[in-house]
Structures are given as C-alpha cells and as structure tokens.
Amino acid sequence: NGQMHYLKVHDNRISVVPFGQWQTTSGGNAPNIAFELWNVDMLGCELYNNYIDNNISLVMDLPQWSTPKGRSTIRVYNNVLDLETRAKGDGYALEVSLHDIEIDHNYIIKGKHGIVNWDTHGNKMSNWNIHHNVFYGLVDNYPADIVRVQVSGLHNVKFYNNTVEFVGNKTC
C-alpha cells in the first residue's frame, strides 16, 4: 500500500516450489507466484533479464487505480518465463491487473495461459502494449489463452510482432 517508483529488478534467477502452496477462494489449487507486486503504487518500474520459473503477479486493482494515468506503471522485458521445467506446463506466465504496462521481448515457455487479467472489481484494464514476445507451447484442457480476461475486459490493447508456436494438436 505504498509507492514503488522506479524499481528495477534484473539479472536474477527466481525459482519457487511449482505448485501446492496455496488455494483460490473457491478451494482450487493455484500455481505459485514467483514474483509479485500487489497493490503498490507502481510508476516507471522495470522487470528485465530474469529467469523465472512460475508466474509473475502485477496487480493494482484498488479504487484509487481504477482510472488509467497514461504513464508507465511497469515494463516487463527480456525475461525467460519457464513454466515447463519445474511446473510441468501448469499455470500462466503473467497475471496483469493494472493499466499502462509494456510487455516485450520475453520468451514464455508453455503454461496454460500467457497473460491473464483475473480482476473481478469491474476495472476494464487499459493501455497494454504487448510486442516482440515468443509464446511457445501454451496448452490447456480448454483452448489455452495468449491473452485472457476472466471478468472485466480490456481497453486499448496493442498486440503486435509476437510469435506464437503451438506444439501437438491443441490450439489457443
């Protein structure tokens, strides 16, 4: 609940127990979070040149952040998000419930979803710039999702120059 301005997290290997550490409010198992910035006032933050083996959670869903500011909250770039090696393809690379984010030049290996917005407060997240990423082998029992919105929607999303490669006979 404070400011997180101009934070830079880079050149790390972030590894967690792949699953089984917590449950959703409905009682289902949830993938573990390897890195999270949750309801802090992000401005000009960067997450880059990291190897991360489970999901990243970036959330600003309190009422004071319901309107986009039109300035960068965080840029996520040049990371390897490996959901295959330890998590065996479970989970998702990025949970993004905030405005004004840039996601670029990442290599996302497997998982059920690439980027998800689980927000249930009715905030239509805005100003996402997603480009030059590789989404490799996303797969789920249902069609997997490259960008998924569970409830509240998106506005002004730019998705361009990404590579999506399927493996097997599943689609996204």
pLDDT in tens, 94-124: 999 999 999 999 999 999 899 999 888 878 8
Query: What global pTM score does this model have?
Result: 0.94
Amino acid 36: pLDDT: 95
CB 73 within 8 A of CB 32: no
CA-CA distance, 4 to 37, in Å (whole number)?
9
Instruction: Please state, rounded to an integer, the average pLDDT across all residues of the chain.
Output: 91
Amino acid 20: pLDDT: 67
- In this predicted structure, the answer to whether residue 171 has a pLDDT above a threshold of 90 is no
Amino acid at 96: V
Of 126 and 169, the one with more pLDDT? 126
Average pLDDT (11-27) is 82
Exposed (0-12), middle (13-18) or buried (19+): which is 104, by Cβ within 10 Å? Answer: middle
